[in-house]
Structure 1
Amino acid sequence: MDKIINFAGKVKFPITIDPSVWIFDDRKQELESFFEATNETNNELETYTKAISKHWSREIQEGATYPPTLKTEKKYEKERLLTSTFAIVLKPFIENAAPFEEAKTFIIETETNEYAFPLEDAYSFILCFSSKGKPLQDDGPVHVYFQDGSNKSNPITHVKTLRIE
């Protein structure tokens, strides 16, 4: 039960978070991908158009190719789940809890400390929930990283409660 995180405070909907099920969540990404991503905002239509154009040109030049077999795809995904370090963005959980308008501070309670941040900053926090395919048993259930990677070598660990005040 100590692997469950309470999300409470000045919110319309207090929620409980179980990071052990995030391995099945489509929103998860490999932790390193959060820090490698550039902060450029791309036009979605432009990105889509370029991808379709590239695909169309390749099909004209090389002919249609068929996707890998389902068996190969499953094997790759299973291997990736067993060897990668995964994380998820905190933003959807804050939105689901629906903070009250007067809420301004986001507090992370750990076994030994409390960390306070402006609520706006918390929307970009990253919650790491697995390391090399294994749940964070010793210092988990999650590690909190800042989007800019400034605490990449020293994340916030031993998280017990997330609170909005």
Structure 2
Amino acid sequence: MENIITFKGNVKYQITLDPGVWIFDDRRLDLTTYFIQDDIRKNELEEYTKAVSKHWDREIMEGAVFPPTLKTEKKFEKEKVLTGTFGIPFKPFLRNAEPKENAETVIIESEDGEARLALSQAEELILGFSKDGKPLKEDGPVHVYYGDGSNQNSPIKSVKAFRVE
């Protein structure tokens, strides 16, 4: 139970988080590249339209071709999961807990003390849950990174709970 993180306080639903299952979550982020990528937020509809258009153009020019590399792509993805360093956005968990209208801050409780953040800042947090394919057992279960990556080299470690006030 030491890997379970509680989410409590001024919220409608008190929830628990289990970082051990996030490796299978499609929302996971590669932390080795996340903070060095350009922070460009693309319009999802525009991105989808371009992808479909590109695919349609290719099928017209070349005909429908099924990729012969499907097995190698699956192997690469499996290897990436087994060796990668991953995180997950904090915002969906915060929304699921549904902070009450008078909630203003999120307090990160760790073995080293507490860190207070405004609710809007907390929405941008990234929770690191694996390093080099291994769960964070020594100083985990999660490392908390600010959304702008300003604490990338010294994240908040040994997190025990998130408390909304």
- Please tell me whether residue 42 in structure 1 is matched to residue 42 in structure 2: yes
How does 1:49-60 map onto structure 2 within 5 Å? 49-60=49-60
Residue 139 of structure 2 corresponds to which residue in structure 1?
A: 139
**Identical-residue share of aligned pairs (%):** 58
Q: Deviations over 1:43-97 (max 9, x none)?
A: 3332222222222233333333213455433322221111100110000100110
Counterparts of 1:2 and 1:46 in 2: how far apart (Å)? 43
| Contact in 2 for aligned 1:30/1:84 (Cα 8 Å) | yes
AA aligned to 1:58 is R
AA aligned to 1:51 is A
Counterparts of 2:21 and 2:36 in 1: how far apart (Å)? 25
- Which secondary structure state, in structure 2, belongs to the residue aligned with residue 102 of structure 1? coil
Counterparts of 2:48 and 2:17 in 1: how far apart (Å)? 34
- Which secondary structure state, in structure 2, belongs to the residue aligned with residue 129 of structure 1? strand
Counterparts of 1:87 and 1:72 in 2: how far apart (Å)? 25
Residue 122 of structure 2 corresponds to which residue in structure 1?
A: 122
| Contact in 2 for aligned 1:34/1:147 (Cα 8 Å) | no
AA aligned to 2:9 is G
Counterparts of 1:73 and 1:4 in 2: how far apart (Å)? 33
In the alignment, structure 2 segments of 5+ residues that lack a partner are none
AA aligned to 1:133 is G
Q: Deviations over 1:3-32 (max 9, x none)?
A: 111110001110111101111111112113
| Contact in 2 for aligned 1:81/1:133 (Cα 8 Å) | yes
| Contact in 2 for aligned 1:8/1:14 (Cα 8 Å) | yes
Residue 2 of structure 1 corresponds to which residue in structure 2?
A: 2
| TM-score in terms of structure 1 length | 0.92
Residue 103 of structure 1 corresponds to which residue in structure 2?
A: 103
| TM-score in terms of structure 2 length | 0.92
Counterparts of 2:153 and 2:131 in 1: how far apart (Å)? 14
CA 1:68–1:33: 2 relative to 1, 3 Å = farther
CA 1:131–1:62: 2 relative to 1, 3 Å = same
Counterparts of 1:6 and 1:146 in 2: how far apart (Å)? 19
In the comparison of the two structures, how many residue pairs are matched?
A: 165
Question: Alignment RMSD, CA only?
Answer: 1.6
